Chains A and B, each alone.
Chain A
Amino acid sequence: MQEFEHIQSLWQSHSVEVKISSDEMLAQAKKEVGAIRNRSLLNIAGMVISLIAISSLLLFFDFNSWTTPLGLGIIILLIAVYTFLLYKEHRLIARNDFTEHPGAFLNKLKVYQLSRYNLYNKLYWFYAATVSVGFILCFYEMLQNMDTWVQVAIVSFTIFWITFCATILRRGYMTREKERIDLLIEKFERISSQFQEQETTLL
């Protein structure tokens, strides 16, 4: 028959090993909080760089055919609209501090997930179709003086790339993005209910 004192000494003598150091914990805490925002920002940065690169073509080159500036214009306009949509999405998660308004942040995260889904689902087909029209218009002049095999190679590669992006890459990205945000939502839901319980039962 054991007494409670024995149980207590057993508990205290059982040494536990913490597997993570304070440096690792600090790095992880910072990374988790900022990761989703950073990814969103990187996405926007990539679009802005593309926008500048394609716009510079219009500024620094003279084109003989009206189709090229029209094609480039369509692509630029499309990228600008998409960048704006990405920025709007980014604001959903950037303007809310999870630690201050966990409930509101969680709702925004759900809206962000839905918006992200729309962007890479229905809207993506519009994006792919419009980019294709833009490229066709640009290629009309750009490929004119090239050898036939080069023309075929460029057109084939463009078709392959747009198809690849619209199918395999898009589906993979959507799955990863959904899993990542689902995990975040699950985690934040757990932490949010903790806040509520803390307020009602323990404080």
Chain B
Amino acid sequence: MDQKDLLFKQIFDTNSKKIFHLCYGYTGDTDSANDLLQETFLKVWQNLDKFRNKSLISTWIYRIAVNTCLTYLRAEKRQAKDELTDNIIENRVEEFSEKNEQVALLYKSISKLEENDRLIITMVLDELPYNEIADISGISEGNLRVKIHRIKQKLTELYNQHARI
């Protein structure tokens, strides 16, 4: 196995869970999230030689994943994943628990946000440092703080709205 293969495997093992979580946040279903995860890492493999350590490799992969998710949503002309998120709730009756219900509501609430807000909040939820989020999203750190505050409020509001229904 050559150096590139080893590096790729290391990168995949370190980052795949976070990226999958991100994709899951976007799509709301496991199969689409898996497809997007694979497309992201396919891209990583194809471009690994061109990565020049100008940013953290995790930031670089996040950026690819975010673009993959956004492009996927736009290309498929998918609206917020109401149906799929509803499916999560319906199809997992056997796994029903208060926590599962809360998780489903969380994904449903995230899906109601605008695409870019969704991208930012998933990174906030994953506790990425602000400078990394700013780097990935292309927003200055000052503006980002304001934006994040607003998205947090909106998400909390949406979540509480859904929880009351």
- Chain A interfacial positions (CB closer than 8 Å to B): 1-4, 7-8, 10-14, 16-20, 22-23, 25-26, 28-30, 32-33, 98-99, 187, 190-191, 193-194, 197-198, 201-203
The answer to whether residues A29 and B67 also contact, given A3-B156, A7-B106 and a CB cut-off of 8 A, is no
Residues of A within 8 A of B8 (CB): 22, 25-26, 29
Contact with A along B133-146 (1 / 0, CB 8 A): 00011100000000
In the complex, what's the smallest C-beta–C-beta distance from A132 to chain B, in angstroms? Answer: 45
Give the contacts of B27-48 with A (CB-CB under 8 A): 30, 33-34, 37-39, 41-43, 45-47
The answer to whether residues A25 and B38 also contact, given A99-B50, A202-B67 and a CB cut-off of 8 A, is yes
In the complex, what's the smallest C-beta–C-beta distance from B37 to chain A, in angstroms? Answer: 7
Contact assessment for A202 and B156 in the assembled complex, using a CB-CB cutoff below 8 Å: no
B160 interfacial contact with A, CB 8 Å:
yes
**Residue of B whose beta carbon sits closest to that of A98:** B46
The answer to whether residues A10 and B106 also contact, given A22-B16, A194-B68 and a CB cut-off of 8 A, is yes
**Interface-facing stretch out of B70-78, B79-87, B89-97:** B70-78
Contact assessment for B138 and A4 in the assembled complex, using a CB-CB cutoff below 8 Å: no
Residues of B within 8 A of A17 (CB): 30
The interface size of chain B toward A, counting residues with CB under 8 Å, comes to 52
Q: Apart from A32-B42, A194-B67, what 7 extra A-B contacts exist at CB < 8 Å?
A: A4-B152, A10-B102, A10-B106, A26-B12, A98-B46, A198-B63, A202-B137
Contact assessment for B24 and A16 in the assembled complex, using a CB-CB cutoff below 8 Å: yes
Residues of A contacting B: mostly: helix
Residues of A within 8 A of B46 (CB): 29, 33, 98-99
The answer to whether residues A16 and B155 also contact, given A7-B125, A98-B46, A198-B63 and a CB cut-off of 8 A, is no
Residues of B within 8 A of A99 (CB): 46-47, 49-50
B5 interfacial contact with A, CB 8 Å:
yes
Question: 11 A-B Cβ contacts within 8 A?
Answer: A3-B156, A8-B124, A12-B125, A13-B99, A16-B24, A26-B45, A29-B42, A187-B39, A190-B71, A198-B64, A203-B138
